[in-house]
């Protein structure tokens, strides 16, 4: 199988994994916010379920560390791609936010 196709398959899994870690971080932080709001909504003291909140913070920290590790994996795989002589972009742009995509064309406008 051609190296570029194998690399594209790996890149697609990488982008999917990165998105999954980001989604997990979003869900975890939203859960933390909901837990804190729920405590005030039901009128319990600040110490109520504090141990649960501590565990949630630990989970969010672990997800942050996982995200940092995935960034490292991404950089290492980029280097591996270049060592294999693959110079083409391996896609993934559909998963990137709009501000990270290359503009199709630049429009000029009057400012004054």
Token pair belonging to 99: 């501000």
pTM: 0.74
Rounded to the nearest integer, the mean pLDDT of the chain is 87
Q: Angle at Cα 95 formed by Cα 109 and Cα 65, nearest 5°? A: 120
- The per-residue pLDDT for range 41-50, each reduced to its tens digit, is 999 999 999 9
Q: What is the mean pLDDT of residues 72-99?
A: 79
Question: How is the chain split into domains, by residue range?
Answer: 3-86
Q: Angle at Cα 5 formed by Cα 88 and Cα 21, nearest 5°? A: 85
H helix or E strand, kind and range, residue 55: helix 50-83
Residue 99 confidence (pLDDT): 44
d(CA 10, CA 22): 18
Q: What is the mean pLDDT of residues 7-13?
A: 95
Contact 39, 49 (CB under 8 A): yes
| Strand, coil or helix: 8 | helix
Residue 68 confidence (pLDDT): 98
- The per-residue pLDDT for range 26-68, each reduced to its tens digit, is 999 999 999 999 999 999 999 999 999 999 999 999 999 999 9
């Amino acid at each position: 199988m051609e190296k570029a196709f194998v690399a594209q398959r790996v890149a697609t899994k990488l982008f999917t994994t990165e998105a999954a870690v980001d989604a997990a971080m979003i869900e975890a932080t939203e859960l933390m916010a909901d837990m804190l709001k729920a405590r005030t909504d039901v009128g319990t003291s600040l110490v109520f379920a504090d141990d649960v909140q501590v565990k949630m913070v630990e989970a969010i920290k672990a997800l942050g560390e996982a995200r940092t590790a995935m960034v490292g994996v991404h950089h290492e795989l980029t280097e591996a791609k270049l060592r294999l002589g693959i110079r083409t972009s391996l896609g993934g742009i559909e998963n990137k936010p709009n501000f990270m995509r290359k503009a199709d064309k630049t429009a000029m406008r009057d400012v004054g």
